[in-house]
């Protein structure tokens, strides 16, 4: 199915019982986001808000809320996309099967962007920023944000659509110091293509022209978030995924997606920044206010009967989790093809994606050696940390499994396999004073922190504890030990104050446990936290707290820790201090008053009755 418009795809979802129209008037300030969150949590349908307070435009959300719904939207093209990505990574395959792969090649040719001389329909009317539904997602957000933008920029040295970048970078429409209707905020993080374009423009002292497309065929939104292999244009990919060429034109020198529902054009000038944020982000915390590029608005366009699509991010899982599942479905083994020896890799959504990577590699370097220990997987780990957005990983667990029965997607089994084999005195490797995900506030400052690679391989070294050892139940200064999963214990401590006090606390803990190393061998990991009951309640809580609230260089300790030739290890359990620190960002939470206000929609007579 080739959807020409967003509305066309929404009508199709409605026919399949996968969309509900919300006819009641709803407030874009907190209410629309709260409704979305409740419907998403219930596994509910896409939503079309037909009466947005203060705006003449409709809005849609939860379009990609389940993998099944996303696969339905792209049901006719998904196999072709998978084939094309496989061919990109293995071109010899096309030569071996030219007839079989002819369709894929033809589709790629047909997907080339099409310059649209008709300059419609997005140019139907010129509007202002204030006409757009001002969706304010979380109580502490700095203003209204665009959460499904397609941000288009061109390379100033190689202009044109085939060398352009299309990415999903959040846009702040209102609030802070922005001049209403004339300025908006452009937030982008490390390892993003737009950064290369801005750097080149800055060196020439020229503004970077930016076009922000919102809406249009669903394939356009997905293409903006896809981590595409080098050499594949996002616009070409959108054409293949949507089974329809990406249509564009130029107005006043700015590229315009003529199929979009809305287009905002403007300029980013060198060193012209303003405070952006806060914003409740996908790690489950607010990203705080920092200076980011300022976009000076040129013009804003909307098509006739335009629909404003949005999503809500927060503590995973959320709708962007389904984006991740769809991307995995499409790309398959693309990353493994790029990194020799890598068999599987999983950016763990429950831990906020970048904070935790689980990987399975190969061990082929020394098959003749009697001692099995990490070798090739250390090489693979370095390759992972030097590859695109994977380089933002904070904790990387990597192992090898010759039986091919282990999977990174079965997290409890993976961790059990890993913890049974880790040698705590040998297998922990730190990267200090390095770059870090912009949204992760566990580090020393924005974009700065540390990483750690835990590489375990070989025979089983221990059986994992299935209960809390007595020595952990008798600690002074620490309390409420709880078994999280086999071999992992969560323990509460007093609230974190500073790292000097923490050093004294862990010296005390080390002194109490150093005489119990043999009985603690079955516990390779201890998590110090604020609430052990919460951490041990389910594996999602454990992953979220442990890996979003710790900076490896500062917050990893060990019982019987030592340095040998600049290598750090420990004789007893590894200890992660996952308490909330003063420099951490606040946790996002729905406003309870707002939650009460929207109850009527879910009660008898409301548009969403029966969804929960």
Give me the residue spans of the domains in the chain. 70-310, 319-455, 470-577
Query: Could you tell me if residue 571 is left (phi over 0), alpha (psi between -120 and 50 degrees) or otherwise beta?
Result: alpha
Which residue carries 């008898």 as its tokens? Answer: 604
For residue 229, the model assigns a pLDDT of 59
pLDDT of residue 191: 56
- Contacts of residue 584, defined as CB under 8 A and 6 or more positions apart, other chains included, come to 285, 441, 442, 549
Q: What's 70-310's CATH class?
A: mainly beta
**Is the distance from CB of 71 to CB of 329 less than 8 angstroms?**
yes
d(Cα 589, Cα 587) in Å, to the nearest integer? 6
pLDDT number for residue 89: 54
Neighbouring C-beta atoms of residue 416, cutoff 10 Å: 17
In sequence order, the β-bridge partners of residue 58 are 307
The conformational region for residue 433 under phi > 0 = left, psi -120 to 50 = alpha, else beta, is: left
pLDDT per position as a tens digit, 182-198: 999 999 875 567 888 88
What does the pLDDT read at residue 109? 58
Would the CATH topology of 70-310 be identical to that of 319-455?
A: no
pLDDT number for residue 98? 44
Report how far residue 237's alpha carbon sits from residue 128's, in angstroms, rounded to the nearest whole number: 30
pLDDT for the residue numbered 87: 64
Strand pairing class (395-400; 356-361): parallel
Token pair recorded at residue 343: 């068999």
Architecture of domain 319-455: 3-Layer(aba) Sandwich (3.40)
pLDDT of residue 101: 46
Is the Cβ–Cβ distance between 377 and 396 less than 8 Å?
Answer: no
Q: What per-residue confidence (pLDDT) applies to 68?
A: 95
Residue 370 pLDDT: 77
The dihedrals phi and psi of 326, each to the nearest 5 degrees, come to -65, -40
Spatial neighbors of 383 by CB under 8 A, at least 6 apart, are 339, 340, 342
Q: Which residues of the chain have pLDDT under 50?
A: 91-96, 98-99, 101-102
Calpha distance 376→385 (Å, rounded): 14
Residue with tokens 């912009």: 438
Q: In this structure, what DSSP letter does residue 566 have?
A: T
The pLDDT value given to residue 84: 75
DSSP E strand stretches across 239-373: 247-251, 254-257, 262-276, 279-280, 286-287, 290-302, 307-310, 344-347, 356-361
- d(Cα 313, Cα 138) in Å, to the nearest integer? 10
Contact of 484 with 529, CB cutoff 8 Å? no
Q: What is the pTM of this model?
A: 0.92
Q: Which residues partner with 483 through β-bridges?
A: 489
CATH 3.90.550 fits 470-577, yes or no: no
* DSSP β-bridge partners for residue 264: 212, 300
- Tokens, residue 38: 């409740």
Output the pLDDT for position 92.
41
């Amino acid at each position: 199915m080739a959807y020409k418009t967003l509305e066309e795809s929404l009508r199709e979802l409605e026919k399949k019982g996968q969309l509900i129209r919300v006819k009641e008037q709803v407030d874009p300030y907190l209410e629309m986001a709260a409704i979305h969150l409740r419907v998403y949590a219930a596994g509910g349908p896409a939503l079309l808000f037909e009466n947005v307070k203060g705006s003449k435009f409709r809005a849609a959300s939860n379009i990609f809320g389940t993998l099944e719904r996303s696969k339905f939207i792209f049901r006719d093209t998904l196999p072709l996309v998978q084939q094309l990505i496989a061919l990109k990574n293995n071109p010899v395959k096309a030569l071996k099967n030219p007839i079989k792969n002819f369709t894929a090649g033809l589709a790629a040719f047909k997907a080339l962007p099409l310059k649209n001389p008709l300059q419609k329909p997005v140019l139907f009317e010129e509007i202002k920023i204030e006409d757009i539904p001002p969706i304010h997602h979380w109580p502490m957000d700095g203003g209204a944000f665009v959460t499904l933008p397609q941000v288009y920029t061109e390379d100033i040295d190689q202009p044109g659509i085939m060398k352009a970048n299309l990415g999903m970078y959040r846009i702040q429409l209102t609030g802070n110091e922005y001049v209403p209707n004339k300025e908006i905020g452009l937030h982008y993080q490390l390892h993003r293509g737009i950064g290369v374009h801005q750097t080149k423009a800055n060196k020439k002292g020229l503004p970077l022209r930016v076009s922000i497309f919102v809406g249009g065929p669903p394939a356009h939104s997905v293409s903006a978030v896809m981590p595409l292999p080098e050499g594949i244009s996002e616009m070409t990919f959108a054409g293949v995924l949507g089974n329809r060429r990406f249509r564009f034109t130029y107005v006043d020198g700015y590229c315009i997606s003529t199929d979009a529902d809305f287009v905002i054009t403007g300029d980013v000038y060198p060193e012209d920044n303003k405070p952006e944020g806060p914003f409740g982000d996908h790690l489950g915390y607010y990203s705080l206010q920092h200076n980011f590029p300022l976009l000076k608005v040129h013009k804003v366009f909307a098509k006739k009967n335009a629909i404003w699509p949005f999503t809500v991010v927060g503590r995973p899982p959320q709708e962007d989790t389904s984006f991740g599942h769809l991307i995995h479905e499409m790309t398959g083994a693309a990353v493994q093809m790029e990194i020799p020896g890598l068999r599987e890799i999983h950016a763990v959504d429950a831990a906020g994606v970048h904070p935790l990577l689980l990987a399975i590699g190969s061990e082929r370097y020394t098959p003749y050696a009697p001692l099995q220990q990490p070798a090739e997987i250390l090489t693979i780990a370095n390759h992972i940390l030097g590859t695109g957005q994977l380089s933002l990983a904070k904790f990387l667990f990597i192992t090898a499994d010759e039986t091919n029965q282990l999977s990174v997607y079965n997290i409890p089994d993976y961790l059990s396999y890993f913890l049974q084999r880790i040698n705590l005195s040998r297998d922990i490797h730190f990267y200090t004073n390095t770059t870090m995900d912009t949204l992760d506030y566990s580090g020393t400052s924005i974009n700065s922190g540390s990483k750690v690679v835990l590489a375990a391989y070989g025979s089983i070294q221990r059986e994992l504890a299935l209960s809390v050892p007595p020595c952990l139940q008798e600690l002074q200064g620490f309390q409420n030990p709880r078994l999280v999963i086999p071999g992992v214990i969560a323990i509460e401590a007093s609230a974190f104050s500073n790292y000097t006090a923490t050093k004294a606390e862990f010296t005390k803990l080390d002194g109490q446990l150093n005489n119990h190393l043999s009985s603690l061998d079955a516990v390779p990991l201890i998590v110090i936290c604020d609430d052990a009951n919460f951490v041990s309640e389910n594996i999602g809580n454990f992953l979220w707290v442990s890996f979003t609230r710790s900076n490896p260089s500062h917050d990893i300790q060990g019982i019987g820790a030592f340095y040998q030739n600049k290598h750090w290890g420990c004789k007893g359990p590894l200890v992660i201090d996952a308490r909330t620190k003063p420099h951490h960002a606040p946790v996002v939470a729905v406003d309870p008053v707002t939650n009460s206000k929207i109850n009527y929609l879910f009660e008898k007579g409301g548009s969403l009755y029966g969804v929960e």
